[in-house]
A and B are shown apart, each in its own frame.
Chain A
Amino acid sequence: MADALPWDTVRMAARGDPAARRDLAERTLDDLWRLAMRLTRRRQEAESVVQETYARAFAALDGLEPNGRFEGYLARIATNLVLERWRKHRPTEPVPTDLPDEASEPWQQVARDEDDRRRLAAVWQAVGELDPKPRAAVLLFYAHGEACEAIGRILDAPAGTVKTWLHRSRNRIRQRADALLTGQSAPASPQPET
């Protein structure tokens, strides 16, 4: 993980200093983009989330106490933005299981053989059917590599709750992905409580 961004740089960036902003963006953009991409899976949406996250961060910076890492603050803003979008629009389009060789999405491109691609697509679809907070927890933990404590801070939940979400969601994803791959109807297992 890169060195934490100095808060002086953050303050100068928030006041509009172009050099500080460029420095801030250079040092935080990659991680923020990965997070947005892993949560949204769409390049255009990820870009919109990234831009809005910086805008919100700069707008609210005056009331912010410099404790912790600015990167964590950005992750929290970005995740909450994505949660807001998920709550407004639940995903209705299923992930296709017969993927073309040259798939348009990066997460599809990395799956090499056909079985793997089908499996990964089924897992993505199962993840997309989770409730917003467990879904964010799953993506932050498995895709983004965050620890349960950090996820709890981002999602305003105790670490124990995050673990419960992860445990139940993992079981549900496995069952649902298996059902999708074998062509059975989805098992009626309950959603993890949010």
Chain B
Amino acid sequence: MTRPYDPTESDLRDPMLERLGEGAEVPADRRRALVDAIAGAPTPLPRRRRRRGVWWIAAAAAAAAVVVGVALWPARPDPIPPTALLGDLLGPLPNLAPSEPAPAESEQRGLPTSGALDAVWQDLEGPLAIVVQAVEAPRAVFNEEPSAPAPAGGPDRKEN
């Protein structure tokens, strides 16, 4: 079983790669400007605290607005009873009461019985008539007596 390769830091050294660090000095003019900028930069609030601060300010402002609104709301001299409010919403209660006796149960369900039968019969009348005609028509053909002579050019012509 082979051990995994575990190089030391000196094993990893590479003169060519170490040259990657060359030429990284800060130019003097940029250095001065950067030091001045860092020394004079405004102090930022920590991000989390800034967000939390904004949230608390907004919540406090909303709560204060509600309290002020409730406190300054003009009091009504004649308070409205809840029933009057319901009445305004639903209409006067007498109007909701039924003015006539309730119809019979059979009327509530739909058509009266005779009317329903008539309607069913009307629906079936047409198809039944067709069926009856289909049955009767062949019988009529067989029972019917010939009322006119056979047409000319038919089979009787040989007798002439």
Q: Does B bind A?
A: yes
Interface residues of A (CB under 8 A from B): 14-16, 18-19, 21-22, 24-26, 29-30, 33-34, 37-38, 43, 47, 50-51, 54-55, 58-63, 105-111, 119-120, 123-124, 127, 138-139, 141-145, 147-148, 160, 163, 166-167, 170, 173
Interface SS of A by simple majority: helix
Q: Which of the 9-residue segments B3-11, B113-121, B132-140 touches chain A? A: B3-11
The closest CB in chain A to the CB of B31 belongs to A29
**A60 in contact with B47 (CB, 8 Å):** yes
Measured CA separation A141–B38 after assembly (Å): 28
Q: How far is the CB of A69 from chain B (nearest CB, A)?
A: 18
**A143 in contact with B9 (CB, 8 Å):** no
Residue from the set B17, B35, B41, B42 with the largest chain A CB neighbour count within 10 Å: B17
Residues of B within 8 A of A61 (CB): 46
Q: Which 3 interchain pairs have the tightest Cβ spacing?
A: A106-B23, A16-B43, A143-B21
Interface size, chain B (Cβ < 8 Å): 35
**A143 in contact with B23 (CB, 8 Å):** no
Interface residues of B (CB under 8 A from A): 5-7, 9, 12, 14, 16-27, 30-31, 34-35, 37-49
Assess A167 versus B7: contact at CB under 8 Å? Given A34-B24, A124-B20, A139-B20.
Answer: yes
Measured CA separation A119–B45 after assembly (Å): 47
